[in-house]
Amino acid sequence: MNERYCEVTVEGSIEVVKGFVTGFLEGQGISGDVFFGSDYHIEKGSPVGLLMRLTGIRGETCTLVVEAGLHELLAAALEKRRRIVPLRVLKVRPVVSAAFDVSFRTFSRAVGAELRELFGSLPEGVRLGEGFEMQEKVTPEGKGVDAYAPLHDYELHGRGRIEGAVKGVFTLYHHLERFEVVERGDMELAHDE
């Protein structure tokens, strides 16, 4: 799994960018990975960027992470339709890896089993960062106690960093979204510069 990716910053609203990119790829029959920054908490508004938008110097921007090669097709399509769709590529940076922090706590054996399975069989190229910890505690005397009581018969908690191959990290981030007990930090990208 040696896929290459690029972070692409586009000037325009995320709704318009999503619509254009999705329509373009579907219309051209192009397949490839496109991760929208707003779905993965990549967007980090800097104070300078916010000030520029408030003063009207620069419009809204959004971030995409796409397979290398797709960014060129998208940039060409955006330039071709610039009069109709006011979007433009501002910046393209190669991405070598991705990472995010995660924490979780559950008192459900079923959810605990799913999380142990998920963290035990990571996507190809993805690893648990140094210091990642996961602890399971079984307390038989807590069985039958109310859900809001201080003592539970089962608990799984953990925290740490997930890092590695771009596609695998984004895939895991997306899978963890379905667990209410999991808190995911912002996605962080490492660039090849």
Q: What's the whole-number mean pLDDT along residues 179-185? A: 95
Q: What's the whole-number mean pLDDT along residues 137-165? A: 76
pLDDT score of 150: 60
158-186 b/e with 16+ CB inside 10 Å = b?
A: bebbbbbbbbbbbbbbeebeebebbebee
User: End-to-end CA distance of the chain, in Å?
Assistant: 21
pLDDT in tens, 72-88: 888 888 888 888 888 88
In this predicted structure, the answer to whether residue 49 has a pLDDT above a threshold of 60 is no
Q: Is the pTM of this model over 0.75?
A: yes
98: enclosing H helix or E strand: strand 88-106
pLDDT score of 147: 54
